Amino acid sequence: MAANDTPYVGLLLIADGLGDRPVPELGGRTPLEAADTPTLDRLAREGECGLLDPIAPGVRGGSDTGHLSLLGYDPYQVYPGRGPFEAMGIGLEVHPGDVAFRCNFATVDDAMAIVLDRRAGRSDFGTRALAEAVDGVQFEDVVCRFKESTVHRAALVLHGPGLGDRVTDPDPHSDGLPLVPAAAKDPADAASAKTARVLNAFLRLTFERWQHHPVNEERRARGIPPANLALPRGPGRSPHLGTFAQRWGFTAACIVEVGLLKGLGRYLGMEVIDVPGATAGLDTDTEAIGRAVVAAAARHRFVLCNVKGPDVAGHDGNPHGKVAILERIDRMAQQIVAALGRRLILCVTGDHTTACSFRDHTGEPCPILFWGETVRPDGVTQFGERPCAGGAVGRIRGTDVLRIMTSYMNAQEKFGA
Ligand code: ZN
Ligand code: ZN
């Protein structure tokens, strides 16, 4: 308990893709080192800093695996592949035991034999209507939920008992090659054989319902390849993770901008809060996100907040954009600290490094800081990759973060007598 007996509230503030490499046009500094971040620097001075390997040293993680790890789940134990998380991310309900696939709308020849275009001209024309024409069909005792995503993408969730995910991809992964019916990788694996049967029946149905669907007549008329087949890949069986509250002993709010992480929050039973103005881009309304964090802290002892912009700038190879969004996150941190004050145990870090020069995720650690009245200050005076390397936290992994935070929050059961 804090001095006034109000429980501490933990805030894990993730600047997505925070870490970076030295940028020549920033004088060899990283975007975070170059950014003007008076609040984060003050928090570093008053708190404790270090380096975070979101998964393990050198691992190029994704946002999903990084956040699983940061929330205390070892992704090597529980990560089912991208299928379930992509499905959750576009708003499909995913339950433990379901098998999910990433899909493309694809163009197949009139015999449903040769995949002519794996991405159906990269057009989203009519994909919602096509998805609605097959969503909810049932084969055996398995319900197939199918939903369109961006451009030519979609996701498929098989919901039913006794499904396995050890099945081959029907996707030939190159245009002009034959469609390959799904099969269990091990013929003795009855659960995966069931998945393959249902999957093949579902693919046949998409062809039958889509081949002459008005959307495809219109696509042909417009010179867009017809989207007459769902092409799945990357199956994954959703793990039984329990809820965040079961794991840590208190409820949590999830204030994030992208569907992938909203889906993860829902899967873990967190209260997922949508913030108007949160665009997941460089123009996002960080002040509105900050207000939502403060409001959520009145209802929950833990808040996960992710601001996507730094990762977007990294993928765009835009170091100045990354600097700018980090400076706005700095003001958001000021706003939150001012509102929550001594109730707050704050951790600021990233879920992976997104290097502007590489335009993708890389394996370097992210800087991390812990701040709050129970935290012992170390000698670090600036929040940046290299300043934090000298801090008292040392070099930790994602799965350490919630343990450290719950200790500072006085919210952890004792291990031992
Ligand atoms: Zn990320
Ligand atoms: Zn990214």
pLDDT at 194: 98
Structural domains for the chain: 9-79+240-408 (3.40.720.10), 85-236 (no CATH)
| Rounded distance from Cα 399 to ligand 1 centre (Å) | 16
| Rounded distance from Cα 260 to ligand 1 centre (Å) | 10
What residues does the ion ligand 1 have nearby, CB within 5 Å?
16, 63, 311, 351
| Rounded distance from Cα 352 to ligand 1 centre (Å) | 6
Top-confidence residue, 86 or 304 = 304
Ligand nearest to the CA of 16: 1
Q: Can you list the pairs that 332-336 forms with residues at least 24 positions away whose Cβ atoms lie under 8 Å? A: 332/286, 332/287, 332/289, 332/290, 332/307, 333/13, 333/39, 333/40, 333/43, 334/38, 334/39, 335/287, 335/290, 335/291, 335/294, 336/11, 336/13, 336/290, 336/293, 336/294
| 90, two tokens | 């576009």
Ligand nearest to the CA of 356: 2
CA 93/CA 66 separation, integer angstroms = 22
What residues does the ion ligand 2 have nearby, CB within 5 Å?
311
| 136, two tokens | 């909810």
| Rounded distance from Cα 212 to ligand 1 centre (Å) | 40
Q: What is the pLDDT of residues 191-226, one digit of tens each?
A: 999 999 999 999 999 999 999 999 999 999 999 999
| Rounded distance from Cα 209 to ligand 1 centre (Å) | 37
Across all residues in the chain, what is the average pLDDT?
A: 96
| Rounded distance from Cα 311 to ligand 1 centre (Å) | 6
| Rounded distance from Cα 213 to ligand 1 centre (Å) | 38
CA angle centred on 87, ends 81 and 89, rounded to 5°? 100
pLDDT higher than threshold 90 for residue 129:
yes
Tell me the mean pLDDT in the region 398-414: 96
| Rounded distance from Cα 17 to ligand 2 centre (Å) | 6
pLDDT at 286: 98
pLDDT at 5: 67
| pLDDT category of residue 21 using cuts at 50, 70 and 90 | very high
| Rounded distance from Cα 61 to ligand 1 centre (Å) | 8
pLDDT higher than threshold 90 for residue 323:
yes
| Rounded distance from Cα 209 to ligand 2 centre (Å) | 36
Q: What is the pLDDT of residues 138-181, one digit of tens each?
A: 999 999 999 999 899 999 999 999 999 999 999 999 999 999 99
pLDDT higher than threshold 50 for residue 2:
no
Ligand nearest to the CA of 306: 1
pLDDT higher than threshold 50 for residue 321:
yes
